[in-house]
Amino acid sequence: MAFLEIKQKLMSEVEALGFPRARVVRALHSTGNVSSEAAIHWLIDHENDPDIDQMPPVAVNIDIESPEPFHITEEMRRKAKELRIRSSKELQEAKRIAEEIERKRNINSRQVEKEEEKRAREKVVQKLEQDKIERKRFGGISSERSESLATKATATKAGEKDEPRSQNSLPATSVSKAVSMRECLRSLRHHHKDNFDKVRNAYQTLFIYVRNVAKNPDEERFRKIRLSNPLFQERVGSLTGGIEFLELCGFRKEGEFLYLPHDKIDPEALNTAGSLLNSALTNPFFGVLQSV
């Protein structure tokens, strides 16, 4: 009889995240027992497989790894102590650098928000001024100033004298969406700050959803998520900001699904989402500093 070789350590790690054993066995076998992370990615990609909860129809040989005994010498203890001291100093320096980077990012984010608010206010003021001019014109009241402002407003609207935009600046809608995405991820971490594993799993799952759509835009199965799926609910759906983040990526609720229509795919939004999620996964201080 054929056997599936499954490593006990990897199986325990994946089962500890709440996955049924049948799924774990399939995932580890399919990924060649490489790592628990590879198995989790496989489970997410194949969550809708009809036989996902069926134990493979072959015997399973669980490899229980037993450590080989060895003698710890004083030299080993001394080197281990030196390594711990050096690692502690390096970790403190890394934390300091990460905190400084995050602080600067927060400052930049606040500046972007303020600039966006300023543009919005200017737009409202311009609209009010233009409405006032129109009311005067229709009421038969005309003046040199109103005519001048009307001409300027018309020229601006037609793009004749529109203020030139910096080549390096982003469209306001893109900046707004990026800020909203970042706030979703910050909110998710803030509400679950006592359970970093849950936060990390949520970020990983969102990253996989975004990556799959970006790489396979024509595959509908990557653009359709069942809201009632227990795995989705556990890792994303039940967490504050999870569904909101996917909606900012273009997904929308349709019945019992989150669905991203093919004609609504926004590569720029997906790239922004992927960049923010990568930062959240690689920067241990992402979202810790809520204000500067």
pLDDT tens-place string over residues 192-238: 888 888 889 999 999 999 999 999 999 999 999 999 999 999 999 99
- 76-115 confidence digits (pLDDT tens): 455 545 545 754 676 688 778 988 898 888 898 788 888 8
pLDDT score recorded for residue 279: 86
- Closest to 57 measured CA to CA, from 20, 10, 21, 22: 22
pLDDT score recorded for residue 135: 63
Q: How far apart are CA 184 and CA 178, in angstroms?
A: 10
Q: How far apart are CA 238 and CA 242, in angstroms?
A: 8
Whether 95 contacts 285, CB under 8 Å: yes
Q: Residues of 222-244 as b/e, b for ≥16 C-beta within 10 angstroms?
A: bbebbeebebbebbbbebebbbe
pLDDT score recorded for residue 4: 65
pLDDT score recorded for residue 78: 56
pLDDT score recorded for residue 15: 87
pLDDT score recorded for residue 270: 92
Residues, the chain:
292
The pTM is what? 0.42
Please give the DSSP secondary-structure letter assigned to residue 223: G
pLDDT score recorded for residue 5: 72
Please give the average per-residue pLDDT across 3-13, as a whole number: 80
